[in-house]
Amino acid sequence: MEAIPERKPKPERGSQLELTTETFAFEGKAVARREDGYVIFVEGALANEKIMAEILKAKGSFADAKLLEVLHPSPDRREAICADFGICGGCSIMHMNYDAQLYWKKQQVKEIFQRIGKIENPPVLDTIGAPQREFGYRNKMEFSFSEERWLLPEEIASGDVADRFALGLHVRGRYDRVIDTTFCHISHPIANRILELTRNFRDDHKLRVFDADKNPEGLLRFLVIRNSHLTEEVMINFVTSHYDEEIMQAYAKLLQKEIPEVTTLINNINTKRAQIAVGEKEYIIFGSGLISDKIGNATYQISANSFFQTNTLQAEKLYQVATDFADLKPTDNLWDLYCGTGTITLFVAPKVKSVLGIELAESSIIDAHANAVRNTFSNVEFVSSDLRKALLNPDLLSKYGKPDVLIIDPPRSGMHHDVVREILELAPERISYISCNPATQARDIEMMSEKYSVEALQPVDMFPQTWHIECVAELRLSGP
């Protein structure tokens, strides 16, 4: 009988180890094991590499470490094209070949459904990728202003840090520190031009950044850029702490001269301490204050603060998978749970008899109604309601009829257990469950296993270069 290696003490913080990684885990870390089986998660490493790593923190059963040196690289490793890679919180796996990104996302869904969903052989399909839009795919970018720029080691060494202004993205895991981003590879190319123009505008006008404690008189807060895949319209939402007409008009004049592709400029005013790019008041400086885009056969008007899928082309693929898994029929009564602004609801509406979208946020339901009217759908209804109380409501069932099929697209936290219980009592024949978090999706589906079988699991890569995974599950009623 083979002897079990004696468990060593957990590694000390700051200690350096030579490791060989075995696999790649959810949230973008490689997994290595000491000879005694102790697990070490290494940020920056890939599977099948020999590396040197430094322990950041250690617990009884596992440790987190950072990559110091690659001694023998994985064949999946490539040079990241972004100068801020490893610092910026946006792209965590840009150093991995794209085919490998798709492979590991499939493997992670499989492992999650084995471990959390209690399915021995999960029916996971190959990840649907975006090889033609591996970069430049985001239709919305949110950049932050700061006067405490994240300093690089060479800047600290030089001592030349008089001006610490930044306009850019956040440091990974640090929402209080901003990188001075000069180029983002996953944003639409026009966003980088707007970023440079805005930085120069700030310099020319000597504008200050708002800080509730250090500089409450400062103006600048966020720069949000949105673009339409369908129409190529471009929206800028300049979020400030107060309205300064002179500055806004000067910025508008410069934009219209240098980047005429910008079709509308909006100024949101956020006077509160909360660091969010949404204001209590909105000024339309020029243009309509809206852009429009299309998913499937439906066109959507997008305002500065409304939700819209960040990757338009992949969203259409995601919705098509959900539609196929739902096996829709012209006689179906479909309910779309967590419907948001109705993008999925309208995508499936032409294929069924009727659709009911249910969502808690009243503002989203208002947008959903407007989208349905704009697209002249007559078989769609929307209800604002807490799903924990809605699904078995006799009035709702009497008015809209019991659903034949559900499409579910909850937030990252998944479904409340009361909603799962209601779905089990409602027992529709077919369910198509979309999730941006396979872990909570697997948890929910394990609770539903008494009545539902998992026919297929389809990962869809909505966010290339990141560890995020969208997954669609096809569920069929199999129990009593």
As annotated, the active-site residues are 436
Give, rounded to a whole angstrom, the gap between the first and last alpha carbons of the chain: 47
DSSP-derived pairing of the beta strands 262-269 and 234-240: parallel
Q: Rounded CA gap, 318 and 472, in Å?
A: 8
Among candidate residues 147, 176, 175, 177, the one with its CA nearest the CA of residue 161:
147
Residue 165 structure tokens: 């202004």
Residues 6+ apart with CB under 8 A from 378: none
Q: Which DSSP category does 477 fall into?
A: E
Q: Which string of DSSP letters, residue by residue, matches 256-300?
A: HHH-TTEEEEEEEE--SSS--S--SEEEEEES-S-EEEEETTEEE
Q: How far is CA 11 from the centre of its chain?
A: 34
What residue type is 451 in one-letter code? K
Residue 25 structure tokens: 């885990």
Contact 422, 386 (CB under 8 A): no
Output 440-445 pairs: Cβ under 8 A, ≥24 positions apart.
440/410, 440/412, 440/413, 440/414, 440/415, 441/414, 441/471, 441/473, 442/112, 442/113, 442/115, 442/116, 442/117, 443/116, 443/117, 443/414, 444/410, 444/414, 444/415, 444/420, 445/113, 445/117, 445/473, 445/475
Q: Which DSSP category does 378 fall into?
A: S
